Amino acid sequence: MDTKRSDVQASVRSDPPLVSILLIAYNQHKVVAQAIAGALAQTYSPLEILISDDASGDGTFEAIKAAVAGYAGPHRIVLNRNEDNVGIGAHLSRLAAMSKGELLFVAAGDDISLPQRCAVVVEAWERAGRIPDLISSELIDMDYEGRDGDIIRPDDLAGYRGIADWVRKTPNLVGASHTWSRRLFERFGPIRPHIHEDLVMTFRAVMSGGTISLHEPLVRYRRGGLTRGRRPGTPQAFIAQVLRSNRTSMVEIAQLLDDAAVAGVAAEMKQALARRQAREFYLRDAFAAPGLGARLRLLFGPGDADPAFRLRYFLYAACPWVYAPIFFVKGLVRPEVAPEPSKPS
């Protein structure tokens, strides 16, 4: 065992650690009270609950205040409202800076933590000597109306012990069940605005104190929320979705490269992200190019994005109308809500 981990293990105390729930909400006024009720019902103590609205425009913050009005239980409550929308990762980073807990529990404004969530995670962390920097659990799949479905089982993180494991296969994650150690933020710092936190924080933990996967559902995970949008019905709507994803992905790549540098694995991460980065650069440039000639030069010029990918998005950028019949047919046969998008490889 290395010196750092030995020091952490030697510092384990018998008193229970203060932990923090970071509950973030955005335009979720209809369901945020249920998420807050799940946090207030936690059996673990000492616990502080930070509840924050990311500049919603639908009355979410008013719903938050109503949900905690008159609370006289054992947990400390802190309310916050951002003046500007900063996105999930940066929102959680702000709350992490405001909190005091040794463990930080992620909670979304449309999901529900089971009452034993904090107690089970703290017990697992204590058994591991307070060494791991991220604890993940299974989840209960729940529809938007609150009906429970199957168990969601993210990838077991036990097999991720360093950069080689990460490069081999990026894990399938659900950040809504994650808990982080405070020292993870102290080492790597806040997350950039307008990117999700799950991949970034898991990578940081794998490179730092390690991870634990608990094979027990501790969160009811609501489908149909903000990250589960409808399938685009036109080429123009699809292009708008692609450009939003492209902007997010570019920021996430920069974040991962910075974090890899902190962890001392910059060269390995740069190589692992090369293909993804090439595709994102091509997407950005193809849609920003001033006219057909510039787009043709990108299509046939040098670059690492594969030819089939280039051709597909050249057509979207130069003549999106060629895809209109495809979207029309898809709308007839598959009008349902699109599944939650997976992480790009």
Read off the pLDDT of residues 39-86 as tens digits, 9 standing for 90 and up. 999 999 999 999 999 999 999 999 999 999 999 999 999 999 999 999
From residue 22, alpha-carbon distances to 19, 154, 318 in Å are 10, 21, 44
On the question of pLDDT at 192 being above 60, the answer is yes
Report the C-alpha gap between 166 and 207 in whole angstroms.
Answer: 10
Rounded to two decimals, the pTM is 0.87
Query: Averaged over 156-164, what is the pLDDT?
Result: 94
pLDDT band at 231 (very low <50, low <70, confident <90, very high): confident
CATH T-level fold of 3-222: Spore Coat Polysaccharide Biosynthesis Protein SpsA; Chain A (3.90.550)
State the number of CA atoms in the 13 A half-sphere of 310 facing the CB.
18
Question: Could you report the per-residue pLDDT of 264-286, keeping only the tens digit for each?
Answer: 999 999 999 999 999 999 999 99
- Looking at residue 338, its pLDDT comes to 41
CB burial class (10 A; 0-12, 13-18, 19+) of residue 168? Answer: exposed
* Averaged pLDDT score across all residues of the chain: 90
In sequence order, what are the residues at sequence separation of 6 or more whose Cβ sits closer than 8 angstroms to the Cβ of residue 279?
Answer: 305, 306, 309
Look at residue 219 in the predicted model and tell me its pLDDT: 98
pLDDT, position 10: 39
User: For residue 169, is pLDDT > 60?
Assistant: yes
What pLDDT is recorded for position 230?
A: 64
| pLDDT reported for residue 14 | 67
Compute CA distances 331 → 91, 213, 325, 326, whole Å: 35, 39, 10, 9
pLDDT at 12 over 70: no
- pLDDT at position 1, please? 36
Which band of pLDDT confidence, cut at 50, 70 and 90, is reported for residue 328? confident
Domain locations along the chain: 3-222, 235-333
Between CA 277 and CA 144 the distance in angstroms is 35
pLDDT score recorded for residue 329: 85
End-to-end CA separation in angstroms for the chain: 32
- Nearest Cα residue to 185 out of 252, 107, 254, 89: 89
Query: What percent of the chain has pLDDT above 90?
Result: 84
CA 61 to chain centre: 22
Question: What pLDDT, in 10s, does the model give residues 244-263?
Answer: 999 999 999 999 999 999 99
Determine the pLDDT at residue 332: 76
Q: Which two tokens stand for residue 341?
A: 């998008």
The confidence score (pLDDT) of residue 11 equals 44
